[in-house]
Structure 1
């Protein structure tokens, strides 16, 4: 087992800046990540890159290299450059990772949008109008939605899955080419800060934004896997967690199990056993469902070596249960964002909801509302410098300027460092609510409610139609086979929190599910609307 602190964190008393150890770059500043992927796949052709749970299809590096090369040659024939964009929107399927590799080969950035947004065509249009892709790859079943959403500039649309009359399919572009064995990836036109991919921000507090990620950012993919690892995650390439897992396969040879069904703990555990999965990347609610499932046993989880939990909190009790089941496994929280990638990591489950120490190459400072730097155990806004030039939000200079100030990225998170230089998140600034002129953190109340054994998941929202203020209300999912009253939950919070403004003054509503993005993060704005609708109907 690893030590409790994976990397040391240092504090400069003069500047009041916390920093990780120096990160030595593995690749040249101006190296194309397409060249890195190309060389890895060419040197280890028999390595398995991907296993599709849907149909059992196994993809080797040799397979993916051939597909990516042919696609890159097609992009060249279409006269695409680094100034163009290729759209990707679809469920996990055989060719998606190779398509991403082809974009890196040709140094044409891809804009990946979550397939769940197909249900909201106006969001698809809002995101893609920012980049106007010349070509969009999508699932056949979503062709008409994508076509209508992009009528303004009418890109070429190619299906990833499913064939339609008169519409090209990706397999039509994969015929062998006599020159492919001599192919070489394109060089970067403007250096390592050139955009490689455009991802969706989480969208937990509003509309998702298009975040530009450079080749240098992708070069920071952490080497926490190797060619003996098998990755399982529900995150797809349109979120930074999914992109990171994909790059772990390309860079370090880890196998990736893909599936296109909705996350289900029982299926997840079955896949873990079947494919001898060693690595999970998952949201807290997914970790809860897996590690509390009856099928989660020492035997079924015996292959696990590392579980990375991103995007929220999980009770110490569940973390300890996970550790008791996966005995040869390290369980860690990771703090980061699409804009920054990983920033901090916690390997010590006894530290509760600390996100741990600062990762190499990163710096953090905590500031008050006037911008003054704070010291230990002083709560304020978290400012981040990840050592890489941030490209900002595509087509959104106002939000970019609001997020990037004097070289520091402000994600709107609130937190503090303790005397051991461990970082704690208390909430997002956008999520802090006010009731009777008093600020309170919904995250604090959620953790108190989660102490109850009957609770599976919870989201606390500020209900705006109760005296025109943000009275706390809890959307609660009960664990199967248990029962608990709204009154007991409200009483538990009142007993644990003395101050009245933190009580559940808007009450409790029971639901079967919480609104989440594809990466498993709860959409608090959508949750508030659900609460208010339920309250009005009761």
Structure 2
């Protein structure tokens, strides 16, 4: 429900000190799964274009997607995938058949565990060790990367975007005939069944396996029929500063939604200037664990630093470090409540209890406040975490590598924010006496010993006589960073 200005309606209870989005009831029977709903929708207007893959230069109609997904669902059924613990691991980039794989799992009521293939091998292995999928789906380029993981789990590997000798592929599955009477699986209270397992962003350490139920709130929280697109905040900065960007090339976009972090106000204004006519730049805030958006800023022109008002059926309260509830303008941790069941993190009951308390409130770890118009503003994270080109990492992960160098006495790693990239890792290093080490040697050492580029020292290296420390003797990361930036400006 929107107010007269087209923004989500949000109310505030001054007694309870809780902000609430409007209340909406489900449109669907609770016996239905998301897979059953998608199956019926794909049967409508079968010749309508459903998917355009820029990667493969392919187009699929609703009928073609339905056929492909149903064949995969039928294959899973024939392989005995019946329990919620019968999982499919999905580790693939965008290509023609990724959607059919996900829909096929949904049709059969089979949870899929989606993992970013750009993660380090050890992280991927640890995630799949938790969920233990029976099938691993990957791109041909990642086959060697996951072959040993599949072997350790006894999992069958299926390639998604091509064929390899002796390896089953999605293309092979699509050659199977589809029974005329095929129907998606049905369950009692399908709403409570686990639909998928996604990875948390890793803001509190190694990514966790987050369960998502078949709640239709995934569909009902927001919808639009106007042409639009969704992208990360860093991509907005890249697009706004690209010399080839023009209003003419973006003329079909009516809504451009971004999430994942903040953008400079100047960048937002520049991006807005490229949106033709009534085109609007929008911002959203959400958590993987909640399964949907928490808030939505329908117009960043009036409040560019806000993530908007609350979505339907969402409640939020702000709690300061002493546990006191805050009113408007009061700063504290953002706690949110969506009224939905959550099975937690797979195999991690302690982290589950830390994320969502017994009353159903999610402890986001984000610090923020509401303004007088009930718009939510995010200020910072409670814990250290950096994000570069969309990939999360912790400073200590890079520090441990640099600390292995014999000439290094102390090291502090921090992020240098770059609008188009995110937090580029930089390091202040204290050398041992008599060392002849050069900053380039440190950068080269990290490149050699860290397999993923997003943890490399793109922000540079500085040698210092000592690191700033707090009264308790701990390195003061923010003070070290401030000194680094100050010296960089003066040099």
Tell me the TM-score normalised to structure 2 length: 0.78
Which residue in the other structure is 1:269 paired with? none
Which residue in the other structure is 2:296 paired with? 345
What does 1:120-139 align with in structure 2 at a 5 Å threshold?
Answer: 120-139=120-139
How far 1:478 moved relative to its partner?
A: 8.8
More displaced stretch, 386-395 vs 188-197: 188-197
Task: Describe the shift of the 1:71–1:178 C-alpha distance in structure 2 as closer, same or farther (beyond 3 A).
Answer: closer
Report the Cα distance in structure 1 between the residues aligned to 2:348 and 2:82, rounded to whole angstroms: 22
Residue 412 of structure 1 pairs with residue 353 of structure 2:
no
Task: Describe the shift of the 1:476–1:345 C-alpha distance in structure 2 as closer, same or farther (beyond 3 A).
Answer: closer
What does 1:60-459 align with in structure 2 at a 5 Å threshold?
Answer: 60-83=61-84, 84-117=86-119, 120-177=120-177, 179=179, 181-189=180-188, 191-216=190-215, 219-220=218-219, 222-226=221-225, 278-327=227-276, 328-340=278-290, 341-346=292-297, 347-405=299-357, 406-431=359-384
Give the conservation status (yes or no) of the 8 Å contact 1:4–1:348.
Answer: no
Give the conservation status (yes or no) of the 8 Å contact 1:196–1:213.
Answer: yes
How far 1:34 moved relative to its partner?
A: 0.7
Q: How many residues align?
A: 417
Report the Cα distance in structure 2 between the residues aligned to 1:54 and 1:107, rounded to whole angstroms: 28
Residue 534 of structure 1 pairs with residue 461 of structure 2:
yes
Task: Describe the shift of the 1:310–1:397 C-alpha distance in structure 2 as closer, same or farther (beyond 3 A).
Answer: same
Q: Which runs of 5+ in 1 are unaligned?
A: 230-277, 433-441, 444-458, 481-485, 487-510, 516-521
Pairwise CA RMSD:
3.2
What does 1:498-509 align with in structure 2 at a 5 Å threshold?
Answer: none
Task: Describe the shift of the 1:363–1:467 C-alpha distance in structure 2 as closer, same or farther (beyond 3 A).
Answer: farther
Report the Cα distance in structure 2 between the residues aligned to 1:367 and 1:360, rounded to whole angstroms: 21
Report the Cα distance in structure 2 between the residues aligned to 1:106 and 1:334, rounded to whole angstroms: 31
- Bigger Rg over Cα: 2
The 3-state SS of whatever aligns with 1:431 is: coil
How far 1:189 moved relative to its partner?
A: 4.7
Task: Describe the shift of the 1:479–1:149 C-alpha distance in structure 2 as closer, same or farther (beyond 3 A).
Answer: closer
Query: Which of structures 1 and 2 has the larger relative contact order (alpha carbons within 8 angstroms, sep 6+)?
Result: 1
Give the conservation status (yes or no) of the 8 Å contact 1:128–1:150.
Answer: no
How far 1:5 moved relative to its partner?
A: 4.9
Task: Describe the shift of the 1:202–1:52 C-alpha distance in structure 2 as closer, same or farther (beyond 3 A).
Answer: same
More displaced stretch, 98-107 vs 322-331: 322-331
Q: Which runs of 5+ in 2 are unaligned?
A: 388-392, 427-442, 448-452, 465-483, 485-491
Which residue in the other structure is 1:58 paired with? 59
Task: Describe the shift of the 1:158–1:467 C-alpha distance in structure 2 as closer, same or farther (beyond 3 A).
Answer: closer
Which residue in the other structure is 1:518 paired with? none
Give the conservation status (yes or no) of the 8 Å contact 2:127–2:209.
Answer: yes
